[in-house]
Amino acid sequence: MKNVRLAALLVAGGLCSSTSASAQAPAPAEPPPSNTPPPAPAQPATTPAADEGNFFRFYGMFNVRVVASTSAVESFGQPNAVAITAAGNPVLSVAPDKARYSFQVAQSRVGFWLNEKGPLRAQLELDFVDVTKATPTVASLPRLRIARVDYSFAPGHMLSLGQDWDLHAPLNPHGINLVGALFESGNAGFMRQQLKYLYSTPELELGAAVGFPSPNNTAKEAALEIGTLPTLAVRGAYKFGKSRVGASAIATRLPFNLGEPTERISTAFSTALFSELSPSADTQVRVELNFGQNTANLGLNTLAQGRLSDDMREVGGYISARQALTSQHAVYGLAGYQKVLDAAKVLPNYGYGTPPADGTPPAFSSATLVSNGPGLVHNGTVRLGYEFKPTPKLAFVMEGFLVQSRFSLLQVDQGRTGPVRSALGLEAGAVLNF
């Protein structure tokens, strides 16, 4: 009866049906709080009473921050500080050499679990991030992060269907910038609509998934829906104590110029080695190393976006460590780097309209984003933070950062500005979990 009642609620809430969303620029999803591990696969409830007591659980997080930097920064190509991933492209940013600040609350989130302790369960989670809006107030709108249904059909075996964290590259770094999360700087993880299977024992974790290749935020179906194979992903990890080490991979075949005489089919793939180590109860270390081809075409937050004429390969990784000093005080640090192996193949991610009739170079302010990928040749980030937790659910955080990015520039701009940009900054705020 409980499973019947849960299925009725899922259908009524729309979790088992497709939803429509207004078109917007791609805005990536991001990791959960880095000190909160992902929920373990559901096991059959031991008693009906335990199932009833946890049938609905509401949760959320307030993430309020002030962000300041010595020069321009960007969030997934957009020239703002919503979720910093790189230094600011000097062609797209306003006054790129001037200091700036912003207040941000959009990384806050809410969600709920249905029947969390039972064999059939569901999760829905929303946040308010839109990287196309620099410092919004009441213009912030909900964004769907997670909508999934899990079924644990036997001890250690779980099927999961819906939108969730990708099976590939499962770890995320520490820090208050949960949306930025070293994406485009060594963290290859992302979200995907997929069907996952996970098998888990105390010492071993194995998984496989079939998923959709990449988001399509336009109204029209195109090559992604018509000409591509689903992504195939696998993951394996060895667990010991609170630690694990593992490897994962994801791949598919993508068409370029679908249906045209010049059509070309190419492979897109990403591989990763990862480890999550707890050498002591107060120490956490997370590491990822990745290598791939045309990985940005897979919807991953990396740099290599292939096209009709070229495949693109890249390599990257990050390390993130957190040390608790006392029950209330902790320090952490993280560093990541991602690099396209053939820099000459990287196209700028911006363009101009009609050039001035007198032949003068176009104004930087007239440049707009185009769909050539991130436009970054390489990108690196270093962050150091301090955390004070007066209560277990509330943390005050100060986090300094340095980002350095090399952009691909149009020929008309190569003599007007440099391709390498750096920015120093600080993010300070509070994170309240409930």
Q: Which residues contact 102 (CB under 8 A, 6 or more apart)?
A: 66, 67, 80, 81, 82, 134, 135
Which pLDDT band, with edges at 50, 70 and 90, does 49 fall under? very low
DSSP string covering 263-298, please?
-EEEEEEEEEEEEEEEEETTEEEEEEEEEEESGGGG
Mean pLDDT of 141-148: 97
Q: What is the pLDDT of residues 180-226, one digit of tens each?
A: 999 999 999 999 999 999 999 999 999 999 999 999 999 999 999 99
pLDDT score recorded for residue 46: 42
- Which H, E and C letters describe 337-369, residue by residue? EEEECCHHHCCCCEECCCCCCCCCCCCHHHCEE
Q: Which residues contact 326 (CB under 8 A, 6 or more apart)?
A: none
Query: Is pLDDT at 160 greater than 70 in this prediction?
Result: yes
CA distances from 294 to 236, 251, 341 (A): 23, 10, 12
Write out the CATH class of domain 2-15+27-433: mainly beta
Q: What percent of the chain has pLDDT over 70?
A: 88
pLDDT score recorded for residue 353: 83
Q: What is the pLDDT of residues 268-327, one digit of tens each?
A: 999 999 999 999 999 999 999 999 999 999 999 999 999 999 999 999 999 999 999 999
Which pLDDT band, with edges at 50, 70 and 90, does 360 fall under? confident
| 413 φ/ψ angles, rounded to the nearest 5 degrees | -100, -10
Query: Is pLDDT at 91 greater than 60 in this prediction?
Result: yes
Both structure tokens of 284: 């956490």
Query: Is pLDDT at 8 greater than 60 in this prediction?
Result: no
Query: Is pLDDT at 35 greater than 80 in this prediction?
Result: no
**Cβ distance 345 to 312 under 8 Å?**
yes
| Rounded Cα gap, residues 339 and 343, in angstroms | 8
Q: Which stretch of DSSP H or E encloses residue 104?
A: strand 100-104
| Mean pLDDT, rounded, of the chain | 89
Closest CA to 402 of 70, 38, 18, 37: 70
- Read off the amino acid at residue 236: G
Mean pLDDT of 341-351: 95
Mean pLDDT of 221-246: 96
Q: Domain coordinates of the chain in residue numbers? A: 2-15+27-433
| 11 φ/ψ angles, rounded to the nearest 5 degrees | -65, -45
| Rounded Cα gap, residues 91 and 97, in angstroms | 11
Token pair 């300041």 in the structure block, residue = 68
Q: What is the pLDDT of residues 51-74, one digit of tens each?
A: 455 699 999 999 999 999 999 999
Mean pLDDT of 251-267: 95
Q: How many CA atoms lie within 13 A of 270 on its CB side?
A: 35
Mean pLDDT of 42-48: 41
